[in-house]
Every structure is written in structure tokens, then in C-alpha cells.
């Protein structure tokens, strides 16, 4: 019955070509692009935020990540007390401080 169906033989892959440096570079280029466009800037912002949080001091005017503007009245290891009006103080995590504002920002608000 072999005269009706041709015999199938395994074909040799790409004759003489072996995976080389080009396949490795094709995978490495997108990783390099992601590093410089996404990962590196994010690490830089994180480092700047950590430095800003460590430098918080009593009397600084800050904005939290929730948008609350206040003056720091007490600084602890993990929390700060913010005076957001004359007789109202709230506790916030140090990491929740988004930005330190220039002095006098609260008077203008």
C-alpha cells in the first residue's frame, strides 16, 4: 500500500545554522528598553521620595497622598502629626507624605 501514500521522512532543521548571538540580542534589546524607560526612572523617584521622607522635620508644610495640606507638629518613627487647622490635628504615615511645600503655603490656601 505504500505506492498510494508517499513515505514521510523527518526533515533536517535549518541546515548548518545553530542558535547564536542574534537570538540572544533579540531578547536582550526589549529588556534594555524597558529598563531605561520604566524601571530606572521609577527607582530614581522612589529614592528621592525616601530621602524626602527621612528629612521631614517639625514645622514643614506638607501634602499627603490623599491631598491633605498641613503643618507637621510631631515626627515619629512611622507617623507624623499634621495640624490641618487651628485646633485639628491628624496622624499620617510618613510614607503617605507626597510633597513638602514651600513655607507660607498654608497661609495662602
Model confidence over 36-57: pLDDT tens digits?
Answer: 999 999 999 999 999 999 999 9
Give the pLDDT mean for 83-100. 95
Residue 40, pLDDT score: 94
Q: Between residues 13 and 41, which one has the greater pLDDT?
A: 41
What's the CA gap between 29 and 36, in Å, rounded? 11
CA separation for the pair 83, 67 (Å, rounded): 14
Neighbours of 92 (CB within 10 A): 19
pTM of the model: 0.69
Q: How far is CA 96 from CA 5, 10, 21, in A?
A: 74, 64, 47
Amino acid at each position: 500500500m505504500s505506492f498510494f501514500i508517499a513515505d514521510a521522512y523527518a526533515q533536517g532543521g535549518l541546515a548548518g545554522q545553530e542558535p547564536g548571538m542574534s537570538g540572544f540580542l533579540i531578547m536582550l534589546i526589549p529588556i534594555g528598553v524597558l529598563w531605561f524607560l520604566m524601571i530606572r526612572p521609577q527607582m530614581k523617584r522612589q529614592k528621592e521620595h525616601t530621602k524626602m521622607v527621612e528629612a521631614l522635620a517639625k514645622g514643614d508644610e506638607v501634602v499627603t497622598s490623599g491631598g491633605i495640606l498641613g503643618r507637621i507638629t510631631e515626627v515619629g518613627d512611622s507617623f507624623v502629626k499634621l495640624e490641618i487647622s487651628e485646633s485639628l490635628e491628624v496622624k499620617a504615615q510618613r510614607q503617605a507624605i507626597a510633597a513638602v511645600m514651600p513655607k507660607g503655603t498654608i497661609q495662602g490656601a
